A and B are shown apart, each in its own frame.
Chain A
């Protein structure tokens, strides 16, 4: 039974350079800051960073699972506040949890939390699902 204030189970996704390349191909976003370390550093980034939309896609999977399938996801939004940094040869975490914020008219609203290496990467992340 879920009610307002219920905290949903945490899920951890892992990102590595291979996943960034896979997302670049799947999304069409081939910006080199997500694949080429030398380029990323040259534009002032600490290292290669994940696409904000990859982070959002992974958290979206968490939302779809909660909703009982992507067909039940009605709204989903997030602000990109910090990059997920993906050094070569490492798997970095994306740790996701959520709290139920509203239940009305067969719809459930959740507030999402997403961190990587302990740093909050998405702000104001919310979803509304049919449930």
Chain B
């Protein structure tokens, strides 16, 4: 179970992530995008979900990642992501509720490029009963 005390708190990811051209190329290849100079709009999920897993499964937060289902997803893109960008991730647990034994967690991730906010993304994650 998620520790309810963590709701409303923001947790910094452990490290800065440098986006590589090969990562963008691989993502573009899946969707058939020929312009590899800009990351496709959902590319940063690659960073966000990994960071969420690291953050939300910390012992003091306690989410069970093994029974997780993705409920919904939203991106707001302020600065398009390109190869060479150095991004830091912070996750804020915005809401948490339990319905029919399922835990429903809404998490926002903010990816900063230097001091500028590049991408905010919202994920609703459901831990099945």
Residues of B within 8 A of A27 (CB): 27, 45-46, 49
Interface residue SS majority, chain B:
mixed
With known contacts A26-B27, A27-B46, A64–B70 Cβ distance under 8 A: no
From A52, A61, A75, give the contact of B75 (CB < 8 A): A75
Q: Chain B interface: which size bin?
A: 20 to 34
Given A57-B31, A64-B41, A74 contacting B73 (CB threshold 8 A): no
Taking CB atoms and an 8 Å cut-off, the chain A residues in 97-120 that contact chain B are: none
B29 and A22 form a contact (CB under 8 A) = yes
Residues of chain B contacted by A76 (CB below 8 angstroms): 41-42, 74-75, 77
Those of B83-110 within 8 Å (CB) of chain A: none
Cβ-defined partner of A69 (8 Å) among B35, B70, B73: B35
Q: How far is the CA of A80 from the CA of B72 in the complex (A)?
A: 6
Cβ–Cβ < 8 Å partners of A73 in chain B: 41, 77
Task: Please indicate the chain A residues that have their CB under 8 angstroms from the CB of B40 in the complex.
Answer: 57, 60-61, 64, 70
Closest to A29 in B: B49
Q: Flag whether A2 is at the interface (Cβ < 8 A).
A: no
Q: Label chain A's interface by main secondary structure.
A: helix
Q: Within the complex, what minimum Cβ distance (angstroms) separates A13 from chain B?
A: 8
Q: Of B23, B30, B70, B122, which is in contact with the most chain A CB atoms at under 10 Å from its CB?
A: B30
In Å, the complex CA distance between A19 and B46 comes to: 16
Q: Which residue of A lies closest to B23 (CB)?
A: A26
- For residue A78, CB closer than 8 A to chain B, the reply is yes
Residue numbers of B with Cβ under 8 A of A are 23, 26-27, 29-33, 35, 38-42, 45-46, 49-50, 69-77, 80, 122
13 pairs, A vs B, C-beta closer than 8 Å: A22-B30, A26-B23, A53-B42, A53-B70, A57-B42, A60-B40, A69-B35, A70-B38, A75-B77, A76-B42, A79-B71, A79-B72, A80-B71
